[in-house]
Structure 1
Amino acid sequence: MQNVVVVVQDGVEPFGLGAMCEVWAEPYHPEDDNPVFDFTVATPRPGRVRGPAGFDLYVEHGLDTLAHADLVCVCPKRGYLDPSPEVAEALRAAHDRGATVFAHCTAAFVLGEAGLLDGRRCTTHWRHVDALTARHPEAEVDADVLYVQDGNVVTGAGSAAGLDAALHLLRQEFGARTAAAAARRMVVPPHRDGGQAQFIARAVPDCDAETLGPLLGWILEHLDEDLDVDSLARRALMSPRTFARRFRAETGATPHAWVTRQRVLCAEELLERTDRPVEWIAREVGFANSATLRHHFTRLRGVSPQQYRRQFAC
C-alpha cells in the first residue's frame, strides 16, 4: 500500500477529511520510522469544493488519480443521499482492479451506489443504519460495530470510527508497532476492535459507583494470570452476574472476549519485537499453550502467529 487517494465532494465533512489526512498524509517522523504515502485528494470536478462549516477547499486533482491508487478513501458529505454517479463509477473501477476501497460514516452510501456493498457486511453511523438498509437491501448492514472489512471493502461507523478503521488498515499492512506509533502521535487509543459497539449503553447504578477503568488497567498488567469471570468479579467486589453485566455495559464486550483481544494484541507486539518461541509468547500473554494462541490469533487476525511474525518482525 503506497498510493492513497481521498475522494471529496461538495459538502465534505471536515473531520472526515482531517482524519484521513492524519493517518495517510503525514511526513516522515524519524522517532516513529513511519511509512510515508503518495497522498492525493481528488474530486469529480477539480477546483472549488464547497464545505459545510464556513470554509471551502481548493482541490487540484480529478478522479483519474484513482486509476493508480492502492487505497481509495471516500469522505462523508452533507447531502449524503445525493447521487454521485462519477464517483461510483470510479470506485467500481478501482475495486475491480484490486484496490482497497474505504468509506466511513455516510460515505458508505456512495459505496452502495457503486454496488460494492451488495452481499457484503458493512456499517455506517448508527443514525443512518436504517436508511442504508432500506436503500441497499442486498447489503448486510451491522449497526453494532465500529468498522467492518469484507474483502477489499472497508466501512467505518461515525466520524471517529474512521480513525479506528484507518488504524486497522495500517495495522494490517504494516503491523501493530506502526499502528501504535500513529495512534500515539494522534493521541488516540492504539486499537479499538471493529466488533466493539458504536456507542456504549452504560448502566445507571448508584451515583457513587466506580467504573471498571482501574480494573481494566490491572488486567493489562496481569494478562498472564487466571482472568476468568469469577476471579475478576471478586477483584471488582461484585457478584459474577453483576460483574458480567456491568463489564459488557462499559466495554461493549464480554469479559472473555475483551481479555482474549488484549492477549492477542500483546502477542502481536511480542511477535514483532522479540524472537521468543511462540510457546513462550503464549504463556506470557496468558494462553495455556501455543495451540490456544494460534486458535485465537488466527480467528481474530486471519493469519497464524508464525505468518504474522514473518510479515512484521523488526
Structure 2
Amino acid sequence: MEKVQLGKSDLKISPIVFGAWAIGGQAWGGNEDKDALEAMQKSYDLGITSIDTAPVYGFGHSESLVGKAIKEIGRDNLEILTKFGFNWKTEKGEYQFPTSDGGKTYAYAGRDGVIQEVEDSLKRLGTDYIDLYQIHRPDATTPIEETMEVLKELQQQGKIRAIGVSNHTVELMKRANSVINLVSSQSPYSMVYRKIEKDILPYCIEENVGILAYSPLQRGLLTGKISSDHEFKGDDHRANNKFFKEPNRSRTNAFLDQIKPIAIERRVTLAQLVINWTVQREGITAALVGARNAKQAEENAKSLSFTLSEKEIQTINAEMDKVVIDHEV
C-alpha cells in the first residue's frame, strides 16, 4: 500500500488509517483487547501503517492499546495520530480543567491542558513523539491562536511532528493556519453525509490541507450489514444516532442495493467498495476505518486492491445523490 503525503508536511501516511475509537470499548458495546491488538498487527502486515486514536476513546484505553501495538510492531514502522482537547472527569481527578456545562466530557485546549495531555499521551503510547497531533474539538474558552502557539513549542521540542484539527470550521482552520503550518483536517465524510463539500473540502484543496475522512462507512451503516430490525447492545451510541433511525436506515439500505451490482462485479464487499470510493474522492487524503479483529482488518486492507472506473463512479454518484441524508451542499 503506497503511502500518501499529508498536506504541506513531510509526513506520509497510509491511505487507509486504522481508526482506534471502537477498540477503546466505550460507546461501541465493548471490545476484546486481544482482538484489537491482533487487528492492529494484521493491519500493519497488510500495509496500513497509520493509527489514529485519542485520549477520550475509552478514557485512555485506546491509546494504551495502541502503545502495546507500537511495542510489538516497532515505533519507526508506524505513524501515530492522536488528539487532545476533549477531556473527561473521573473520581481520581484526571483532567480537572474548567467546563461550562459540568458534563462528563468537555472541550479544553488551554496551555496547561495541552502540556499535560501531550505528556499523558506520550506515556500511554510508550513513545517520545507523536506524528500528528490534532485538536479534537473546538474550545470556546481558548482562542485557537493561543492553542496553536503551544503546539508550535511542542513541535520545536520534537514532541510532535505535524499539527492538525478535527471537527473544526473553515474559519477556525484559517485562524490556526495563520500561526502554524496546518497539515490536516479530520472530518466526518461518507456517501450519506457530505456536509464538508460545502466549504471545508474546497478550502483544504486550495490550501493543501489533507483531509482525514472519519466514519466513511457511517459507523457501519454502509457495510450493508445493519438490517432494519438490527438491535444495538450495551452502550453502543448508534442506537440513538439519526442515521440508524427510520426511515434513514431503510433509505440507505435501498441505496446499497442499487450499487451492490458493482461490488459483485468487482468481487468485493460493499464496505470495500465504499472505502475505495472514499479514498478516490477528490481532496480526500485518507479514510479512517476501524477494525475490531484481524478478519475485519484484512477486509479493510483489500479495499484498495482495485480502482473504480469513471463509469462506476458516475453510477455510484448518481444513486448517492438520491439518498444523501444530510449533505447540505
Q: Report if TM-score (shorter chain) is over 0.5.
A: no
**TM-score normalised to the size of structure 1?**
0.34
TM-score by length of 2: 0.33
Which structure would you say has the larger Rg? 1
Higher strand fraction (1 or 2): 2
